[in-house]
A and B are shown apart, each in its own frame.
Chain A
Amino acid sequence: MKNPPKRIYLSAVRQDTGKTTIALGLFHYFNSKGLRTAFIKPVGQKYVEVGSERVDKDSFLIKELYHCHEGVKDMSPVTVGKGFTEDYIFHPHREELANSVLASFEKVSRDKDVVIIEGTGHAGVGSVFDFSNAAVASLLQSKTLLISGGGIGRSIDEIMLNRALFQLENVDVVGVVVNKILPEKYEKIKKCISQGLKNKNLTLLGAIPYDPVLAHATVRHIQTSLDAKVLCGEAYLDNVVKSTIVAAMEPQNTVKYLADKVLVITPGDRADNILITISSHHLREEKGFRVSGIVLTGGLIPHFMIMSLLKESGIPVLLCDHDTYTVTRHIQSLSTKIELRDIDKIERAKELVEKYIDEDKLFALLKD
């Protein structure tokens, strides 16, 4: 009789701790060891349209990246779109959801050695529709790997809170990966959290330092998220954005804040700040300085003379109808999801997981 596949449920202690990075890296690692690996995200919240279907973004990424044969709909059986929660509250259908997830899981896990199951947010997310991460892990009889942000006190507090919910559902938490640790505090935090977790009978399976390549958005991410129009510089939309500046001051003051790979947010009628941005982009090029992009706010397009300079500069220029404050607030709240075209990020995710997570120990812990 064939052995059932090993199952690992990746659950974060809160949003944006890097579950997809770790899923992507683990998939690569298991694959490279000759293990037949599958991926499923039972409940997805951020979706893309594939043909006539809405599928979870992360499932689509993994399918395309690793050429998975499974149907993408089976890799993301439940997609929580707009209105789903309100609808569920008045018309609960937990059994239907559970059957759908179980049927998809059966398909994706067939003939596999290991299945990576990615959760959505912290352990309790989904409780509103009777399908929390802890409940889904229990349904799929999976062990859980908790992923936390890179602190000490707050991280351990959050880990314990999340473990409690998994314990309530009789789900075994095999270990913890702490992600995004500030490099200057790496050794101290790793040592401290390792001991802190041991005191709570938990195992630290990985400590990953903060990585700027993974943290930074590209101009394309920002454009998509703002639904902004591209005025020019379309070929450079994959420029990485390291910092943002609101150029609403006088240009001689703006120039002080223009750092390498900056995104300049300015009202479209501030010709002075647009011109200083173009000048800095060109004059400091030899020193390795580049402006990553410009977001023009207020729906204002500059005079054609300035537009033609922008076009020549190669700087990608986005146009947004919202005011500067709204645009800035939106950009600052952006989380940087990995997408298929983010080759550097994908490679970095693989490297980080291979270097900083003890995958062999994790795999051994998945055995009954």
Chain B
Amino acid sequence: MARIIFIEDDPDVVLSYRLMLENHGHKVVSCLTGEDGLMAMADGEADLIICDMALPGIDGATVCRHLKENERTRNIPIILFTCVRIKYGIDISEKDKAWIPADKIIDKADTPDSLLKAIKELLSHRDG
């Protein structure tokens, strides 16, 4: 079981993925904005962070950078979970590490299994 911070502004997405993640035994704390996510991480603990890109206020890439620049949080794996390709025609990938330092980028259009697989892979580094 892992404690996951889920930063996502769409309540429907939060609801469906929270259920799925909890069914897989994870504990989920959701935050509706990047600022809330950073606040939650300021004094909280997490094993993994899932973050949307297009958030109100600061964007997901900025959230990733803040977390990776912070000594306390830099080793926590981050999945950027986004639909910017379908919604805005923006192609982002792990080649964009210089400004999106997420450990994985998962397209929301992919099957939920992709997200579960990425979580499992990133947590295995922690457990391993």
Contact = CB atoms under 8 A, between A and B. Distances in A.
Interface size class for chain B? 10 to 19
Contacts of B119: none
A311 interface: yes
Nearest to A300: B62
A308 B98 contact: no
Contact of A303 (B59, B65, B91, B98): B59
A304 B53 contact: yes
Interface residues of A, number: 12
A301 B62 contact: yes
Contacts of A304: 53-54, 59-62, 84, 90, 92, 99-100
Interface string A224-244: 000001111000000000000
Nearest to B65: A301
A305 interface: yes
Contacts of A307: 61, 99
A305 B99 contact: no
Contacts of B92: 304, 308
Nearest to A306: B59
A135 B99 CA distance: 51
Contacts, number: 37
Contacts of B88: 305, 308
Contacts of B12: none
Contacts of A231: 98-99
Contacts of B90: 304-305, 308
Contacts of A303: 59, 62
A231 B100 CA distance: 10
Nearest to A230: B98
A267 to B, nearest CB: 16
Main secondary structure of the interface of B (DSSP, over half): loop
B83 to A, nearest CB: 13
Nearest to B92: A308
A61 B99 CA distance: 33
Contacts of B53: 304
A229 B97 CA distance: 11
Interface string B59-81: 11110010000000000000000
- Between A231, A304, A305, A307, the greatest number of chain B beta carbons within 10 A of the residue's beta carbon is seen for A304
Contacts of A319: 98-99
Interface in B81-126: 84, 88, 90-92, 96, 98-100
A294 B37 CA distance: 31
B59 A232 contact: no
B62 A311 contact: no
Nearest to A302: B99
A232 B59 CA distance: 18
Contacts of B91: 308
A319 B91 CA distance: 21
A276 B100 CA distance: 23
11 contacts: A301-B61, A303-B59, A304-B53, A304-B59, A304-B62, A304-B90, A304-B92, A304-B99, A304-B100, A319-B98, A319-B99
Given A301-B61, A308-B92, 17 more contacts: A230-B98, A232-B96, A301-B62, A301-B65, A301-B99, A303-B59, A304-B84, A304-B90, A304-B92, A304-B99, A305-B59, A305-B88, A305-B90, A308-B84, A308-B88, A308-B91, A319-B99
* For the complex of A and B, 5 pairs with smallest distance between CB atoms: A308-B90, A304-B59, A304-B61, A231-B98, A231-B99
